[in-house]
Amino acid sequence: MAELTINGKRKELDADTLADVVELLGLGGRPVVAEVNGEVVASEKWAETQVASGMKIELVHFVGGG
Amino acid sequence: MDVRKISDQAQSRAELGDAAGAARDTWRIGDEEMTSRFFLGTGLFPNPFVQNEAIAASGAEVLTFAIRRVDLESAEDDSILQHLEPGKFRFLPNTSGSRTAEEAVRIARLARASGLSDWIKVEISANERTLLPDPIETLRATEILVKEGFTVLPYISDDPVICRKLEEAGAAAIMPGGAPIGTGLGILNPYNIGLIAEEANVPVIVDAGLGTASDAALAMELGAAAILMNTPVAKAQDPVGMALAMKLAIEGGRLAYLSGRMGKKKYASASSGFDALKVE
């Protein structure tokens, strides 16, 4: 179990990689951008990006705006 | 109102203009050649259907977006992109919500990581009540993002000096506001907008504060290359009708700018002369 802070909220997930996190949150296949500890991680690298307790992850997307 | 019919009529007028050599009036940002001079925002529309109809009526080739956290509590896919035809539009994400250059740069990097666009509208608000842009932070963010290879379009106040500095920093276009965001007050300082357009060597896009079609026409008459707006269309009683009204006003204002308006005179001068009418 990894204890992560995702979009400002604490979550415990059974995840080894960033790809697992995105999948477990039900965001697989959606146009989401990820940042881990303040650094953008391109989607091609999600599967090789290990996650561990204490990491801060931000998941963002495009919304309506001017 | 049959918006499509009016749009078709406007289209045939544009073709007439083409024949007269007045049209084929394209413009560029970076390598992107565009025909439409209308950038449309995607916020505040009543629903995705009306939004898509309004986008179609506007003829916009560039759409703006914001970047926000995904709502992890809501399972539904609320991504704005799912409603748009893929590949049809150039995307211009903004850095709204940022208060410093560092925050804007972070949002810009996230936006580019989407793989959808390397264009970025720098929008850094100094004050929540007015949302007026912070010129110092905007200039700093522009300098950083230009170095990182972004195509940077800063939203900025209507000050000719800061606009010049942004251009010198490598901005691909300058986007002065007509009035504070979402106010619909129109162009509060036409002199400044006109001066900015006259002096700039990059496209000037009037962004924010417009309310209705005459505001858009005035911006174009003052020499703006294009208009960016969201609220006036999204919050109109009929957003689709207003999108078309704005498109036509932008085209009308542009054509008036190209055609050169008559000089202003203090006193009347009759169109037909007076002498021939004198009866003894």
Interchain contact A25–B (C-beta under 8 A): yes
Reported as a pLDDT band with limits 50, 70 and 90, residue B24 is confident
CB contact under 8 A, B72 and A58: no
Write phi, then psi, for B12 (nearest 5 degrees). -70, -30
CA distance A26 to chain B (A): 7
Is position B235 annotated as part of the catalytic site? no
Identify any residues that bridge with B208 across adjacent strands, giving them in sequence order. Answer: none
B124 closest CA partner among B140, B105, B104, B150? B104
CA distance B256 to chain A (A): 27
Interchain contact A29–B (C-beta under 8 A): no
Tally of structural domains, chain B: 1
By Cβ distance, the residue of A6, A34, A43 closest to B72 is A6
Reported as a pLDDT band with limits 50, 70 and 90, residue B21 is very low
Please say whether the beta carbons of B250 and B38 come within 8 A.
Answer: yes
Reported as a pLDDT band with limits 50, 70 and 90, residue B91 is very high
On the question of pLDDT at A7 being above 70, the answer is yes
Please say whether the beta carbons of B95 and B112 come within 8 A.
Answer: no
Other C-beta atoms closer than 10 Å to the C-beta of B81 total: 19
Token couple for B264: 């202003």
B104-152 pLDDT, tens digit each: 999 999 999 999 999 999 999 989 999 999 999 999 999 999 999 999 9
Please say whether the beta carbons of B108 and B117 come within 8 A.
Answer: no
Lowest-pLDDT range of B20-34, B174-188, B222-236: B20-34
Interface of B with A in 237-266 (CB under 8 A): none
- The per-residue pLDDT of chain B, averaged, comes to 91
Position B156 in a domain? yes
Please report the DSSP string for B204-271 in residue order.
Answer: BEEES---SHHHHHHHHHTT-SEEEESHHHHTSSSHHHHHHHHHHHHHHHHHHHHH-PPPP-SS---S
ipTM of the complex model = 0.95
By Cβ distance, the residue of A11, A32, A65 closest to B94 is A65
Please say whether the beta carbons of B181 and B208 come within 8 A.
Answer: yes
Reported as a pLDDT band with limits 50, 70 and 90, residue B12 is low
Token couple for B96: 């709204």
Reported as a pLDDT band with limits 50, 70 and 90, residue B20 is very low
On the question of pLDDT at B278 being above 90, the answer is no
Write phi, then psi, for B133 (nearest 5 degrees). -70, 145
- What pLDDT, on a 0 to 100 scale, did the predictor assign at position B19? 46
Alpha-helical (H) ranges within A1-66 are 18-24
Domain ranges, residue B190: 23-277
- Higher-confidence position of B113 and B272: B113
Please say whether the structural domain A2-60 has been given the CATH code 3.10.20.30. Answer: yes
Token couple for B275: 């002498």
- CA distances to A63, B257, B269, B274 from B266, rounded to whole Å, are 51, 22, 10, 18
Lowest-pLDDT range of A41-55, B72-86, B101-115, B215-229: B72-86
Write phi, then psi, for A7 (nearest 5 degrees). 50, 40
Residue partners of B111: CB distance under 8 A and separation at least 6: A33, A62, B67, B93, B95, B117, B120
Identify any residues that bridge with B118 across adjacent strands, giving them in sequence order. Answer: none
Candidates B5, B88, B121, B235; catalytic one: B121
Query: What is the CATH number for B30?
Result: 3.20.20.70
Other C-beta atoms closer than 10 Å to the C-beta of B169 total: 19
Position B207 in a domain? yes
By Cβ distance, the residue of A9, A30, A40 closest to B72 is A9
Over residues B90-102, the mean pLDDT reads: 97
CB contact under 8 A, A65 and B41: yes
B166 closest CA partner among B204, B208, B130? B204
Highest mean pLDDT among B62-76, B149-163, B263-277: B149-163
Over residues A43-56, the mean pLDDT reads: 96
Interchain contact A13–B (C-beta under 8 A): no
Give me the amino acid identity at B176: P
Lowest-pLDDT range of A57-66, B72-81, B185-194, B225-234: B72-81
CB contact under 8 A, B113 and A64: no
Q: Is B245 exposed, middle or buried (0-12, 13-18, 19+ CB in 10 A)?
A: buried
Position B3 in a domain? no
By Cβ distance, the residue of A7, A38, A64 closest to B72 is A7
Position B10 in a domain? no
In whole angstroms, what is the distance from residue A30 CA to residue B181 CA?
30
